[in-house]
Amino acid sequence: MPDTTNIHLNTAARAANTYDAIVIGSGISGGMAAKELCDKGLKTLVLERGRPIEHIKDYPTYNLNPWEFKHRGEIPRDFIKENPLITRAAGFAEDTAHFFVKDNDHPYVQEKPFDWIRGYQVGGKSLIWGRSCQRWSDFEFDAPRRLGYAVDWPIRYNDIAPWYSHAEKFAGICGEKDGVPSMPDGEFLPGYELNCVEQHMKEVLWEKYKRYYITGRWAQLTKPTELHLAQGRGQCQNRNLCMRGCPFGGYFSSVTATLPWAKKTGNLTVRPHSVVHSVIYDEKLGKATGVRVIDAVSKQVMEFYARIIFVNASALNSNLILLNSTSARFPNGLGNDSGVLGKYICFHNYRGSMYGRIDGFKDKYYYVRKPAECVIPNFRNLGKEDTNFIGGYTIFSGASREGANPWRVANGIGEELKAEITEPGDWTVYMYMQGETIPKESNHVRLSTDQKDQWGIPLLVTSVGYDDNDEKMVKDFLEQGEAMLSSAGVKDIVTHDTHQAPGLDIHEMGGVRMGKDPKTSMLNEFNQLHACKNVFVTDGACMTSTGNQSPSILYMAFTARAVDHAIREMKNGNL
């Protein structure tokens, strides 16, 4: 176990390890922090606990055909037995396994079942994210105050809207301006066209329910701008192989966009294999001065120094780092005067799903493998409570036609047989939910008192579960979804509640929440620790509530806004 006490560096070594800013983590928010800080002229160190990744070079499966994989894309039974957690994750398969952390590589303690999905490499989970990018509205920002749960957000939609635009323009988000009150429009590239059955769904749902069925807002370059071409990225080729790593840069990731952009400024240093032990707090100065790191390979302990620190290690790891950053001033974790650090962990509820077949449309098909889905924006509890549960849910949906199947039972011989087995099959429609969960103090993470990892850092204990509100929401989705599909003529509908453990949604949030009152929150409206102003947290840990929309684009917007504030505060001599 590395000894992290009494670390002393000589003056020359300290100078060599000093930067204007340090960013912990290189995923979606960490990459954005690096890009914004470097653009503003700050010498920035990005610390990544995983291995280095280079665009294209480190995408080993990006162009392989199914028959070129040892197991034809399937996961062997022995591997599943050894990795029951990651093999349940969305997007995990033989062609993407290289971007996921194996279960035994970084254990944690599950006080309650929790599937913690991680990607430890430069780029983090931005290489394997779902790429869905809906904006929040004031329905979400005002919901905790209005409905009496969690604490009030310190901002509203108008505060973050310009930063949404800033992030969307750089990342490249496709979609259409649909005028949905609960899902504001953004800065969109052309959206994906609905196929004939999806268009039918759109018409029926509006006519019968006045509910929207829209093309999704997705981080795909359907038509790159000059800004995207300057990033070295190209148009999405509609291969739908995104999680292998896209050689065209057709989807947004830290590896294709933010980190290369930051590197071009000459201000970026990326250090992989850097496991962050803690943030260093100086009692005399009353601020954080740096970050203590353990080299993942050599186990050597090092310290790096900076005026400002951005904690973007992903929600639960950010909680772990702050909990482990103790001092005489902060015996229970950095900035934890309120006692809420690690508490009010929340996630998205994905348990409900369904599918069925629809007659007709046999004279129509579609082209390309669209890497985006359709969206039914939340229609529950908008402005007032209209259900027996709090919050709402977004629905993802789509329709497709079974391809030609030469192995199915067919009639005839010769030309008659050939014609039958090359004819596409039935159309099917699916839906699944992404539901809000309500932050509760009992849903928390903490450090183990007796178990440590291979670097001597306490293991994280997860104690997070569902509640009655979640059960009621799943029930409502299954009822409403089936009714909507039936209204559109969908038959043989199969509904399913997976009862999957929290965490498998990969949208863990909270623990370092924003709020107006330092007595009940960790961060202010600019994502600064109330009690340690030169430390910012802009990943999922900062979330006060979950909303029902996918959160990654919000993290990017929070990050850009926080960097802008930090720069102004530095210029004014406040940091």
**Residues 447/320, Cβ–Cβ less than 8 Å:** yes
**Spans of all domains in the chain:** 1-172+222-347+506-575, 191-218+351-390+392-437+466-501
3-state SS, one letter per residue, for 509-575 = EEECCECCCCCCCCECCCCEECCEEEEEECCHHHCCCCCCCCCHHHHHHHHHHHHHHHHHHHHCCCC
**CB neighbour list of residue 294: distance below 8 Å, 6 or more residues apart:** 2, 4, 274, 275, 277, 300, 301, 302, 455, 456, 457
Question: Cα torsion at 186, 190, 192, 197 (round to 10°)?
Answer: 90
Rounded distance between C-alpha atoms, residue 407 and residue 384, angstroms: 53
Residues shown for the chain: 575
**Residues 318/19, Cβ–Cβ less than 8 Å:** no
Backbone angles phi, psi at 383, to 5 degrees: 85, -30
The Cβ of residue 297 has, within 10 Å, a number of other Cβ atoms equal to 10
Rounded distance between C-alpha atoms, residue 506 and residue 518, angstroms: 28
0.85 exceeded by the pTM?
A: yes
Distance separating the N- and C-terminal Cα atoms of the chain = 35
507 burial via Cβ count (<10 Å: 0-12, 13-18, 19+)? buried
The enclosing H or E element of 417 equals helix 414-421
Backbone angles phi, psi at 82, to 5 degrees: -80, -20
**CB neighbour list of residue 286: distance below 8 Å, 6 or more residues apart:** 329
Residue 541 vs residues 293, 413, 521: alpha-carbon distances, Å: 20, 62, 12
Tell me if residue 349 falls in helix, strand or coil. Answer: strand
Residue 469 vs residues 138, 438, 476: alpha-carbon distances, Å: 22, 8, 11
Q: What is the pLDDT along the chain (575 residues), one digit of tens a residue?
A: 455 444 444 567 788 899 999 999 999 999 999 999 999 999 999 999 999 999 999 999 999 999 999 998 899 999 999 999 999 999 999 999 999 999 989 899 999 999 999 999 999 999 999 999 999 999 999 999 998 999 999 999 999 999 999 999 999 999 999 999 999 999 999 999 999 999 999 999 999 999 999 999 999 999 999 999 999 999 999 999 999 999 999 999 999 999 999 999 999 999 999 999 999 999 999 999 999 999 999 999 999 999 999 999 999 999 999 999 999 999 999 999 999 999 999 999 999 999 999 999 999 888 889 999 999 999 999 978 899 999 999 999 999 998 755 555 556 677 777 776 677 889 999 999 999 999 999 999 999 999 999 999 999 999 999 999 999 999 999 999 999 999 999 999 999 999 999 999 999 999 999 999 999 999 999 999 999 999 999 999 999 999 999 999 999 999 999 999 999 999 999 99
**At which residue do the structure tokens 């629809």 appear?**
358
DSSP track, 43-97: -EEEE-SSB---TTTT-TTTT--GGGSTTTTPPPHHHHHH-TTGGGSTT-STTTG
CA 25 from centre of chain: 13
**CB neighbour list of residue 39: distance below 8 Å, 6 or more residues apart:** 261, 262, 265
DSSP track, 387-407: SSSSS-EEEEEEEEEPPP-TT
DSSP track, 143-209: HHHHHT-S---S--HHHHHHHHHHHHHHH-EEE----BTTB---SEEEPPPP-HHHHHHHHHHHHHH
Task: Indicate the class that CATH gives domain 1-172+222-347+506-575.
Answer: alpha beta
The Cβ of residue 417 has, within 10 Å, a number of other Cβ atoms equal to 13
Hey, what are 362's tokens?
């046999």
Nearest residue to 326 via CA among 280, 359, 363: 280
